Chains A and B, each alone.
Chain A
Amino acid sequence: MKKLLIAASCAMAMFAGGAQAQDLRIAFDVPYEPFEYKDENGELTGFEVELASAMCKELEANCEFVIQAWDGMIPGLLARKFDLIMSSMSITEERAKRVLFSDPYYITPGGWFGPESFNTDVTDLEAMDGKTVGVQRGTTMDTYVTENMHSAVTIKRYTTAEDMVLDLEGQRIDVAFVDYPVGEQTILNRDGYKEVGEPVKLGEGVGVAMRKRDAKLAKEINAALKTLKENGTYDSIMAKYFNYDIKI
C-alpha cells in the first residue's frame, strides 16, 4: 500500500511538473542604454528588460536575467549558460546559421555622426573618397560600409563605442556610423558634433536569439511578442524610453 502511494505521488509530481511554468534564463549585455542598463539602485532596467518581463508574463514563464558580455553571447547561449538573448542582437544571415531568431521586435536605424565642420554627403561615394569611417565591429553598420563603401573610404573597426568616440574627438576618423541610439547617447550630447546624414534602416531588425533546437519555444515567443505589440503593452514601454518609433 505504502509503495503504491509513493508511486502515485511520484506520478502526480511528474504530471504537475509537466504543467509547471518553464524556467527561462535571458541574457543581456549591460550597459546599453536605453535598452538594458542598471538604474541608480543597481536594478536591471531598460526597454528590452521591460519587454522581456512582459513577454515572460505572457508566456507564464519563470524568468531569470543574466548579464553576459557581448563577445561571449552566442557561445554562452550554445553552452547553455542561458536560454535566450534579448540584447539588441540584430538578425543577420551569419548569426542565423548559429542561432534561431524570433520575429523582430524592434529596429533602430544606423546614424551618421560627425563634427560640425563635416559637410560631405555621406551617400556620395566620390565625395567620400579618402575619408575615414568608424564603425563598431560586427554590426550591421559595419556590414553596410564594408559592402557598399570599401572602395572609397578607409574603415576603422572598434570594439566599443567609447573607443570610437575618442578617435572621432581625436580626428582619427572623419565620421562615425553607429546605431542611432548609441550615437545619440555618446556623440550628439557633446559640443561640436551633429548628425551628418539621413538615418539608414539596416537589416531585418532585432530578434530574440535562442538555440536552434528550441523551435517550439520560438513559436510561443512569436505569439507572445505579437500579443504585446497588439494590446498596447509594447507601445507603452516604447514611449517610456524613446521619442521615435522603433516598432517593427
Chain B
Amino acid sequence: MPDFIVEWLNSNEIFTALTLMEYWDGLVTTVHLVFLSLVIGLIVAVPLAILRTVKNPFVSGPIWLYTYLFRGTPLLIQLYIIYYGVAQIPGIQETFWWEIFKEPLYPALLAFTLNTAAYTTEIIRGAILSTPNGEIEAAKAYGMNWFLRMRRIILPSAARRAVQAYSNEVIFMLHASAIASIVTIVDLTGAARNIYSRFYAPFDAFIFVALIYLALTFILVFAFRKLENHLLRHQRPANS
C-alpha cells in the first residue's frame, strides 16, 4: 500500500492498514473456500442427481440416504464431526491422511462440499423430474437413446429450471462459510472475530464484515441475473 494511505489509516484506531490486511486475507480465504466447494459440489451433484432419478432402489437409495443425512443435520455439526472427530481416530496421526486432515482447510472444504453437493443434487433432481413429458416423448420419437436424451434434451432443459434455485444455494453457501472460523480458519468472519476481540468494538468489526458479505452477495446476484437472462432468453417476449 502507498505510504500516504497507510498514514491516513493509522490515524484511526481500528481500521489500520494491519486490520484491513486481515480482512483482505479473510476475504481471499472465504472466496477460495466457497468457490472450491461450490465447483466440486456441482461436479459431484450432476451425476448423483441423474442416478437419483433412476428407478432401481439400489442405485437411488444410497444417494437418497446421503442427501437426507447432509440436508438433515446442521453444517456446523458436520464440520465438528469431520474436524474434531477425525483427529480422535486412534493412529490417524501416523497415516498420510493426517497430512490432509491436519490443516483446517481440508476438513472444512470436505464438509462444505458434501453439504452443498447434497442440496445441489436435490435441486437438479427436481429440475430433471419436472421436464415436460412432451419433450421426452419427442426425443424418443426421434430415436434418441437414454444417454443422448439426457445430454441433448433433459439436462439443458433442467439446467434452465435449476439455475434460480441454485443461485440461492450459492448465496446460502457463502453465508454458511462463516462457520469456518470455528475451526481456526481465518476467513472473513474469523478476521472480524479476531479484530472484535482485540478492540472490543463489535459494531465496527462486524458491520464492516457484513458490508463485505453484502458486496459479495451483490456480485453473485448480478452474475446470476446475467446468467438467467442468457439461459432463459427464449422465454422473453418478442421485441424487448
Contacts and interface: CB of A to CB of B under 8 A. Distances in A.
Partners in one complex: yes
B102 A172 contact: yes
B184 A170 contact: no
Interface stretch (A24-32, A93-101, A190-198, A231-239): A93-101
B13 A97 contact: yes
A97 B198 CA distance: 11
Nearest to B190: A157
B84 interface: yes
A166 B123 CA distance: 37
A17 interface: no
A156 B93 CA distance: 19
A163 B88 CA distance: 13
Contacts of A156: 184
A93 to B, nearest CB: 10
Contacts of B182: 159
Q: Of A94, A95, A138, A172, which is in contact with the most chain B CB atoms at under 10 Å from its CB?
A: A172
A137 B202 CA distance: 15
Interface residues of B, number: 19
Interface string B186-210: 1000000110011111100000000
B176 interface: no
Interface string A121-144: 000000000000000011000110
Interface in A190-225: none
Contacts of A158: 184
B183 to A, nearest CB: 8
Nearest to B183: A163
A58 interface: no
Given A157-B194, A167-B184, A172-B102, A94 B84 contact: no
A57 to B, nearest CB: 31
A169 B87 contact: yes
B200 A94 contact: yes
Contact of A157 (B87, B184, B200, B201): B184
B81 to A, nearest CB: 13
B193 A137 contact: yes
A94 B84 CA distance: 33
Contacts of A157: 184, 186, 194
B87 A167 contact: yes
* Interface size band for A: 20 to 34
A136 B84 CA distance: 17
A172 B98 CA distance: 10
A27 to B, nearest CB: 15
B194 A137 contact: yes
Interface in A139-169: 142-143, 156-159, 163, 166-167, 169
B198 A94 contact: yes
B93 A170 contact: yes
Nearest to A73: B200
A171 interface: yes
Contacts of B202: 75
Q: 3 closest Cβ contacts across the A-B interface?
A: A138-B197, A170-B87, A156-B184
Interface of B: 13, 84, 87-88, 93, 98, 102, 104, 182, 184, 186, 193-194, 197-202
20 contacts: A75-B202, A95-B200, A97-B13, A98-B200, A137-B197, A138-B194, A138-B197, A138-B198, A143-B198, A156-B184, A158-B184, A159-B182, A166-B84, A166-B87, A166-B88, A167-B184, A169-B87, A171-B87, A171-B102, A172-B104
Given A98-B200, A170-B87, 20 more contacts: A74-B200, A75-B202, A95-B200, A97-B13, A97-B199, A137-B193, A138-B198, A157-B184, A157-B186, A157-B194, A159-B182, A166-B88, A169-B87, A169-B88, A170-B88, A171-B87, A171-B93, A171-B102, A172-B87, A172-B104
Interface of A: 74-75, 94-95, 97-98, 137-138, 142-143, 156-159, 163, 166-167, 169-172
